[in-house]
């Protein structure tokens, strides 16, 4: 399992929006400049974030984006699965017909348990905890928010 730029940048967009909550809605241009991600790529990513109700858009002259939930209500699991799809350390964890040995494979239960533990851990980490960790470390809003 590897989290792609789509997952990492989705999280960075949410962190950027959280750092600017209370301000006017955040423009894609401003997020792109702050996070050093192309506007075109952010434009594609915000579609998934909006469909998942993690962000909301505001139309009009003073339009842009805001978080749709409080940072403590958004989990890392929710962000990653929104951007990447279901977490799976191996394909057979989600699809029984992926392997002809799925019903007799002793390793499959280990993969399922590992996958469940990863998902549970990610579900316990909130956006607020990530923000607090960056604040404690003294990072600025232009920091590369890698996980």
Q: In this structure, are residues 35 and 60 in contact, taking their beta carbons and an 8 Å threshold?
A: no
Distance of CA 1 to the CA centre of its chain: 15
Q: Is residue 76 within 8 Å of residue 118, measured between CB atoms? A: no
Supply the pLDDT for residue 145.
47
For the full predicted model, state whether its pTM sits above 0.75.
yes
Distance CA 2, CA 7 (A): 10
Give the span between the Cα atoms of 21 and 131, in whole angstroms: 12
Helix axes 39-51, 28-35, angle to 10 degrees: 120
Q: Mean pLDDT by 10-residue block, N- to C-terminus, for the chain (147 residues)?
A: 93 95 90 95 97 95 92 98 92 71 77 93 97 80 49
């Amino acid at each position: 399992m590897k989290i792609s730029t789509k997952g990492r940048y989705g999280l960075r967009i949410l962190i950027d929006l959280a750092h600017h909550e209370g301000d006017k809605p955040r423009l894609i241009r401003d997020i792109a400049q702050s996070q050093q991600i192309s506007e075109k790529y952010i434009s594609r990513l915000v579609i998934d974030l909006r469909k998942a109700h993690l962000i909301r858009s505001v139309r009009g002259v003073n339009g842009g984006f805001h978080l749709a939930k409080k940072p403590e209500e958004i989990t890392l699991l929710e962000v990653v699965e929104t951007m990447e799809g279901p977490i799976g350390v191996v394909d057979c964890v989600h699809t029984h017909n992926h392997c002809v040995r799925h019903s007799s494979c002793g390793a499959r239960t280990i993969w399922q348990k590992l996958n469940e533990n990863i998902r549970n851990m990610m579900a316990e980490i909130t956006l607020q905890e990530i923000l607090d960790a960056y604040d404690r470390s003294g990072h600025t809003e232009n920091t590369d928010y890698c996980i």
